[in-house]
Amino acid sequence: MISSSVLSRDLASSLVVFLVAIPLCLGIAVASGVPVAMGLISGIVGGLVVGLLAGSPLQVSGPAAGLAVIVFGFVEQYGAAMLGPVLIVAGLLQVLAGFLRIGSWFRAISPAVVHGMLAGIGILIILGQIHVLMGARPAAGGIENVTAMEQTFARVWGAGLTREAVALLVGLISLLAMIAWEKFRPKSLMLVPGALVGVAAGTILTVGMQLPIARVEVPSSLVESITLPTLDGFARMIEPGIIVTTLVIAVIASAETLLSSAAVDRMHDGVRTRFNKELFAQGIGNGLCGLLGALPITGVIVRSSANIQAGARTRASAVLHGVWILGLVALLPQLLAMVPLTALAAVLLVTGWRLISLHHVRHLFDHHGWVPVGIWTATVAMVVLQDLLVGVALGLALSILEILPHLRRKLAIDRLEDEESIHLDLVGVATCKDVPVLLNMLETLPEGRKITIAGTRLHYLDHTSAETLRDWLMRQKKSGRLVEIEHPPVGRHRRLKPIFERLSEEVA
């Protein structure tokens, strides 16, 4: 039974998440090249369905900027109607992955590859939304968007005050309002999201001055926007390009969800994520989105962090935010129809910049040297210059190349314990392939005992395993558990001692 105080916190949090989610649902639909109704339906499913089933109770799901680039290219080539069958199959793959307990293996992907993928997507979003900011239509690829810049700018600087120039002005005002609010907002209004302020500023300016720029096209009824998949669509699922896109959406949606879940776990002291259950919930959600003709969904860190910062205590907050989206679309669709597209482009420019996450690159270099930075750079470059699949494949190949000399050696964990303490001795070599075993050991340790982690018999630790160990140590420090680190001797691999020294600093 939920107490009244917990319910009141969840209610307040759900309203905050709702205000964050609305501009993102609209903007991501626009960036995906589909009607905004598809983004709104995904937001509702992410709240009402995934919120009820999720293995991460405080995580919020919905349409994600990380998949917008993939969907845009797919819709340009195959049409929006084919998205339904693709999402149904991708959802089934996620459900299967949950049943097969594959969730933990997604965390074995190198953080350099994951953040490189997100950074590449962020750059592609920025390149595309610069065109929308000026009232033009973006192209499908990064290179195409760069080459089209001259033509878009030419329309802005035409004779007199062009419609494109007006759109750019409104977009820049929205962007500045968003940035200024994030930087200078008063403490009493900390929970009001910057994206809402930016969109509100652009909308008030557009409506107040009756500016002739493109606005959001909202259907009179959300039910009318539901497009069920057809048998012809399923018949086309054997085409190679569609098969590849289905696999890419399933893998990227799962990886982004579980990456977000791990980050959410670091933000609160409540129930930990059950990763395989979370995969199952996301699969059900994506399958339903495919059935209703909506966008793919993932667990998203922006909405999830807003949920936690607003004081959410249970999954009720995520569920209620879906109720509020449904209520707004059902009762006040005309309000959404006032929003200019250029204001949503401003929101996505900020979202794209945050995906690039340069501070993570500095962290990789400071803690692990040039190798993971090189993997990150190669992944970003290929995602932008070629496509997402090529970028991620190259990143994974380079990650394997990094640990190739150590692949045949295994990690052993010797465990000694008594009533007060547990001593874990890491023996041999720890690489990304050992992350699931390492995490399973660490996350099943009983609470209330001192933990000692010894690296005295460890010969090698790659950056994926080191970051996994670091994230776990940070959670233990936050919970107040006493953890001690024993360093390997100086004569071992030259990177081991500095890594363990930094791990010791994390728990000091």
What is the CA 255 to chain-centroid distance, rounded?
Answer: 9
Q: How high is the mean pLDDT of the chain?
A: 87
Q: How confident is the model at residue 153 (pLDDT cuts 50, 70, 90)?
A: confident
The string of DSSP letters for 243-301 reads HHHHHHHHHHHHHHHHHHHHHHHTT-SSPPP-HHHHHHHHHHHHHHHHHHT---EEEEH
Query: Per-residue pLDDT for 508 more than 70?
Result: no
Residue (of 322, 246, 251, 327) closest to 290 by Cα position: 246
Bridge partners, residue 434, by sequence: none
- Over residues 199-239, the pLDDT tens digits come to 999 999 999 999 999 998 888 778 888 888 999 999 999 99
> In the structure, what pLDDT confidence band is assigned to residue 325 with cuts at 50, 70 and 90?
very high
Domains defined along the chain, listed by start = 11-347 (no CATH), 411-507 (3.30.750.24)
485: confidence class by pLDDT, cuts 50, 70, 90: confident
Residue 266's pLDDT is: 67
* Tens digits of residue pLDDT in 451-473: 888 888 888 888 888 888 888 88
pLDDT at 39: 94
Quote the pLDDT of residue 274: 86
* pLDDT of 197 over the 60 cut: yes
The band of 379, judged by pLDDT with boundaries at 50, 70 and 90, is very high
Does 13 or 91 have the greater pLDDT score?
A: 91
Q: What is the pTM of this model?
A: 0.84
Tens of pLDDT, residues 242-294 = 999 999 999 889 988 987 887 787 677 777 788 899 999 999 999 999 999 99
For the chain, the distance separating the N- and C-terminal CA atoms, rounded to the nearest angstrom, is 39
CA atoms within 13 Å, Cβ hemisphere of 484:
11
Mean pLDDT is lowest, of 179-183, 192-196, 374-378, for 192-196
pLDDT at 50: 96
Residue 76, pLDDT > 80, answer: yes
CA 289, CA 277: separation in Å to the nearest integer?
Answer: 18
**Gap between the Cα atoms of 187 and 383, Å rounded:** 39
What is the model's pLDDT at position 453? Answer: 85
On the question of pLDDT at 177 being above 90, the answer is: yes
Other beta carbons within 10 angstroms of residue 369's beta carbon come to 13
Cα separation, 306 vs 169, in Å, equals: 29
> Each residue of 28-69: pLDDT tens digit?
998 899 999 999 999 999 999 999 999 989 999 999 887 988
Over range 285-309, report the average pLDDT.
91
Distance CA 452, CA 455 (A): 10
Nearest to 82 by CA among 233, 227, 225: 233
CA distances from 250 to 67, 94, 96, 210, 280 (A): 10, 6, 11, 43, 12
The letter for the amino acid at 175 is L
- pLDDT tens for residues 398-421? 988 888 888 888 888 888 888 788
